[in-house]
Structure 1
Amino acid sequence: MPRRPTIALDADGVLVDFHHGYAEAWRRAFGARPAERDPLAYWPMDRWAVERLEGEARRHFWRYFDEEFWLHLPALPGAVEACHRLHDAGFDLVCVSALDAAWQSARLRNLRALGFPIERVIATGHHAGERSPKADAIAELMPEAFVDDYLPYLRGVPDAVHRALVLRAPNGSPNEGPELVLAHTTHDDLTDFVDHWLARDAR
């Protein structure tokens, strides 16, 4: 059997709604879901009307980014259908996510429970720097395309891989400036990428 071509997909902001999870973690930690402050904010702490936490309050909040958190993130609108369109068109889908390896299994279980046709998650961990924490995994995987919503995570990804950037919420977004040249294409969401990709393959 010939190997099916692969497309690598980020999770948070591409497949699943981390912002919703953030608000739910706040509710679990402090007893009330925060009100929405800016629906167009890129970062969840700007989208929700929450205070900036320090010290023990911050540590208390981050304890709620636990297995329950990673198991119950909802799919973004249209994302499951978009993935099925890619899968039905002959692509294998792999999730490449900058989360700790401890949550890799929970992420896969979450995606499978939501109905995503994804059988593999690669957890790369997160670090800032000149090279994306995902670059080595993408170089080893060598998919036809890699889709992410965070411009710095395109750094160091091989040129042979089509780098697609989901722009999503514009307010406070890091997806701007000279480094936009790292993206071969930009898209409003995953559905927009899939429309582009499948139309390109049809030509």
Structure 2
Amino acid sequence: MRRPVIALDADGVLLDFHLAYAAAWQRAFGHFPDERDPQAYWPMDRWKVPRLGMFRRQRFKSEFGEFFWSSVPPVEGAVQACHRLRDAGFDLVCVSALDARFEAARLHNLRSLDFPIERVIATGNRETERSPKADVVENLRPAAFVDDYLPYFRGIPDSVHKALVLRAPNGSPNTGPELASVGSIHQNLAEFSRAWLSR
């Protein structure tokens, strides 16, 4: 019999993109940036980094290749939360708004951190009225879909439990009337797993 599936976003849910961003800055420019706002949703607001001109922007963008996407550190407690879900009988699939060419790097990243996840589906991140993840989630038919970006719930079937990870509040897009469309709200994946398994 097929095990029920839980679909999980990567950056902000499983993996700490903010720390990886700061490490990429250090590789590009030789210093780890100071922290400006630990409660900022976007990394440019969290770290004390300047706006970049064209040349320095290209230098920074060059850091976001295979090495970057295979070496993002985990969100605290996320690996353990995934093991609890897996041990409770769920298959875990990572659905990431990432370019398809980095799908294998993302899977390598998760496996190297001991996440019990055997499959990554990269959807790209083109902004439209419908979430770039909606078709994949619809095909997976998971029991729950966990993401930290409210617009990515647009078009997700009503049969799927939508769990929003709020994460950092400052500058967050996770506000407004669309919050009414989600099934539950959590500070992190560990909190979601506890709530989900205690139902």
TM-score by length of 2: 0.99
Aligned twin of 2:64? 65
CA distance in 2, matches of 1:11, 1:172: 20
Deviation at 1:181, TM superposition (A): 1.4
Aligned twin of 2:184? 185
User: Tell me, what secondary structure is at the counterpart of 1:112?
Assistant: helix
CA distance in 2, matches of 1:32, 1:8: 36
The share of aligned pairs that are identical, in percent, is 66
CA distance in 2, matches of 1:43, 1:119: 28
Q: For this pair of structures, how many residues does the alignment match?
A: 199
User: Tell me, what secondary structure is at the counterpart of 1:94?
Assistant: strand
Aligned twin of 2:132? 133
CA distance in 1, matches of 2:61, 2:185: 32
CA distance in 2, matches of 1:62, 1:84: 33
Amino acid at match of 1:95: C
Runs of 4+ aligned structure 1 residues displaced above 6 Å come to none
Amino acid at match of 2:155: G
Aligned twin of 2:48? 49
Amino acid at match of 1:65: F
Aligned twin of 2:73? 74
CA distance in 2, matches of 1:6, 1:79: 17
Aligned twin of 1:87? 86
CA distance in 2, matches of 1:155, 1:162: 13
Deviation at 1:71, TM superposition (A): 1.1
Aligned twin of 1:6? 5
Aligned twin of 1:110? 109
TM-score by length of 1: 0.97
Deviation at 1:195, TM superposition (A): 0.8
Amino acid at match of 2:8: L
Unaligned runs of 5+ in 2: none
What is the Cα-based RMSD across aligned positions, in Å? 0.7
User: Tell me, what secondary structure is at the counterpart of 1:159?
Assistant: coil
